[in-house]
Amino acid sequence: MLVSMDGVSYRYRTWPALEDVTMGLAEGEFLVVSGPSGAGKTTLLRLMWMDILPDTGTLEVAGFRADGITRRELPLLRRKLGIVFQDFRLLPDRTVYDNVALPLQVAGTAPRMIRRRVFELLAEMGLSHRRISYPHELSGGEQQRIAIARAMVSHPPILLADEPTGNLDPGVSRMIVDLLLDINRGGTAVVMATHDPRQIPEGTARMLFLDRGRLSDPGFWPGMGG
Amino acid sequence: MALLRMVFREIWLNLRGRGSSLLVTLLMVSLSFVVFDVFLLVTANLGSMLERERESIGMEAFLEEGLSPQAARSMGDVIAGMEQVRSVYYVTPREAEAIFRSQFTRREEMLDLLSSEYRLPASLQITPAESGQSPAAMEELARTVAGMEGVVDVVYGEEYLSDLSDTVSALARLDLFAGLVLVVSISLVVANTVRLSVSRRSLTVQIMSISGASGWFVRTPYLVEGLVSGLAGSALGLALVALASQMLQGTIGHRFLPLEWSLLVVGLGGIVGLAGSWLGLRAALPGLGRTGPVRGGRIR
């Protein structure tokens, strides 16, 4: 298991964001975490990249246990994860190339290797012509594709996507979902949090449903038509 | 090497476009150092003045009128043998008169008014050794000599020396106080600048953190910012005081701070700047320096 949670709970002060969540993520799996706003989807993802740690229960991600991880180990965990946000979070003072190259640069990868990998990735995504552009010069869809490229540049085994289509129109959303499915077909496990699971084609992913911090198996697939 | 280049790049990106805030920090740091440097300059000059005075100051023991020259010389030998005495010179009444006439040319008539039998008293001029130049040692020596048979009076610049010494030690205490105020105020200024800097680049910090950047990689640009602010501010403050010192050289005779002191001041600037940025980072990025297991709550 790449991710395993057992009886995990987390509270923001007195408000219970997650309660007694038990779940796992296998290698190469595509997991959709769905639920209404405030259900705890983002909290679940933040726990996975250990931005926060569980109040109770056990959590293990990519071999790192939440109850034993040290500050020195935290960057090592993060290098095994790619993270994508709804609002893209590209660095506005850097070009597309530098945004995508960042995870390799902070890990101390040789510049020649970085150049080769970033050029290859931008070409795969059809964004080579944008490499010297700044984020504000790109459309929303392009910005999200750059954010996904940044998340994938160091070949992480897990990609966490928190509402990656939340700021995009339906056509572009579809393109982003297709890109995530492609990435998953390449062997990367993907966890996608979304309030609208209908955009994921049936049979391509396992779905979990969160409601007021509690996890449940919906027992049905919402399908494309609702 | 690639990592080091990346750190320098981050330092540049951090400083870029923040000219005005950096300039304000630099000015505040350098002005604080100007005050501190002036205190140091005054203390250093008074200190050297005290040293010069101590070296030049002597003690004179006036002898009884009837004391024979042989007895006076024997007494001089006894005093010269003391640990805190460098040399003793016996001044005969005739020499005393010659000295008086050469030093007080306008008051020679005072001696002429006295009877022809009047003689200035013989004396022993005592030059203290280095270990005997402190006010306490001088006082002790004066007391010992005054207690010797045949000695009428002992004089030396006790009040002057004592006052000068008190002034220098008061200034040294003031320097220490000014130094403490400086350390606290500059640390707070730099800490605040760094906090603002981190807040302005919070997205960069967050993305670096989730991309797997180590703690030192994220924090180094801000630590360097504090270090540079402290070094540049103290150097600028020192340069301003050196300029003022140069301009005042004709009016008030003094010496500028010795090179070692100047280097120490610049070094202090660097240390205080670094400490300030560390404080700022502790507030802006909690967890600095902790390497033990992470326990609950938000971590970066």
The per-residue pLDDT for range A43-77, each reduced to its tens digit, is: 999 999 999 999 999 999 999 999 999 888 999 99
pLDDT at A221: 56
Length of chain B: 300
- Would you call B89 helix, strand, or coil by DSSP? strand
Which among A55, A68, A150 is the nearest to B293, CB-wise?
A68
Q: Which residues of A touch B208 (CB under 8 A)?
A: 102, 106
Q: Which residues of A touch B213 (CB under 8 A)?
A: 75, 106
For an interface test with A, give the residue of B3, B205, B210, B290 to mutate (most A CBs within 10 A). Answer: B210
- How close A80 gets to chain B, by Cα (Å)? 8
In this predicted model, what pLDDT tens digit does every residue of A175-198 receive, in sequence order? 999 999 999 999 999 999 998 888
Which among A55, A67, A102 is the nearest to B211, CB-wise?
A102
| pLDDT higher than 70, residue B197 | yes
| pLDDT higher than 50, residue B288 | no
Closest residue on chain B to A48 (Cα):
B210
Which among B3, B207, B287 is the nearest to A71, CB-wise?
B287
State pTM to two decimals: 0.72
A159 DSSP β-pair partners: A82, A190
Q: Compute, in degrees rounded to 10, the torsion defined by CA atoms B90, B94, B95, B100.
A: 130
Q: Angle B215-248/B259-284 helices, nearest 10 degrees?
A: 140
B214 contacts A72? CB cut-off 8 A: yes
* Other C-beta atoms lying within 10 Å of the C-beta of residue B158: 15
pLDDT at B117: 67
- pLDDT > 90 in chain A, percent: 78
Q: Which of A35, A79, A62 lies closest to A194, judged by CA?
A: A35
Kindly provide the ipTM of the predicted complex, given to two decimals.
0.89
Please give the single-letter amino acid code of residue B187: S
A93 contacts B212? CB cut-off 8 A: no
Mean pLDDT for B194-205 is 88
Q: Which of A101, A94, A103 lies closest to A49, judged by CA?
A: A103
A49 contacts B2? CB cut-off 8 A: no
Which among A55, A79, A91 is the nearest to B212, CB-wise?
A79
Q: What's the rounded Cα separation, in Å, for the pair A164 and A208?
A: 17
Q: Angle B2-15/A96-106 helices, nearest 10 degrees?
A: 130
Which among B292, B295, B299 is the nearest to A74, CB-wise?
B299
Please give the single-letter amino acid code of residue A84: V
B13 close contact with A: CB closer than 8 A? yes
Report, in angstroms and rounded to the nearest whole number, the Rg of chain B calculated over CA atoms. 32
Question: Could you tell me how many CB contacts below 8 A there are between chain A and chain B?
Answer: 85
A78 contacts B211? CB cut-off 8 A: yes
* Phi/psi-derived region of residue B168, left when phi > 0, alpha when psi is between -120 and 50, beta in every other case: alpha
- How close A203 gets to chain B, by Cα (Å)? 31
pLDDT at B262: 93
Of A143-152, A172-181, B159-168, the poorest mean pLDDT is in B159-168
B298 contacts A52? CB cut-off 8 A: yes
Q: What's the rounded Cα separation, in Å, for the pair B282 and B259?
A: 35
Mean pLDDT for B271-276 is 94
Which among B16, B217, B290 is the nearest to A71, CB-wise?
B290
What does the DSSP assignment read for A119-163? HHHHHHTT-GGGTT--GGGS-HHHHHHHHHHHHHTT--SEEEEES
Q: Which residues contact B143 (CB under 8 A, 6 or more apart)?
A: none
pLDDT at A217: 66
Q: Return the structure tokens found at B293.
A: 């297991």
Cβ(A4)–Cβ(A59) under 8 Å?
yes
pLDDT at A100: 97
Q: Own/partner pairs for B250-254, CB < 8 Å, 24+ apart?
A: B254/B41, B254/B45
| pLDDT higher than 50, residue B295 | no
Cβ(A66)–Cβ(A50) under 8 Å?
yes
| pLDDT higher than 60, residue A224 | no
Closest residue on chain A to B213 (Cα):
A106
B210 contacts A83? CB cut-off 8 A: yes
- pLDDT > 70 in chain B, percent: 90
Counts for chain B of helices (H) and strands (E), in that order: 10, 4
For an interface test with B, give the residue of A42, A64, A65, A74 to mutate (most B CBs within 10 A). Answer: A74
Report, in angstroms and rounded to the nearest whole number, the Rg of chain A calculated over CA atoms. 17
Cβ(B250)–Cβ(B292) under 8 Å?
no
A74 close contact with B: CB closer than 8 A? yes
Q: What's the rounded Cα separation, in Å, for the pair A184 and A5?
A: 21
A76 contacts B210? CB cut-off 8 A: no
Q: Return the structure tokens found at B265.
A: 């001041």
Q: Which residues of B touch A108 (CB under 8 A)?
A: 2-3, 6
In this predicted model, what pLDDT tens digit does every residue of B60-86 receive, in sequence order? 899 988 888 899 999 999 999 998 888
Cβ(B93)–Cβ(B62) under 8 Å?
no
Confidence grade of residue A219 (pLDDT, cut at 50, 70, 90): low
Q: Compute, in degrees rounded to 10, the torsion defined by CA atoms B207, B212, B215, B217.
A: -80
B299 close contact with A: CB closer than 8 A? yes
DSSP β-ladder status, A81-84 and B59-63: unpaired
Q: What's the rounded Cα separation, in Å, for the pair A94 and A103?
A: 13
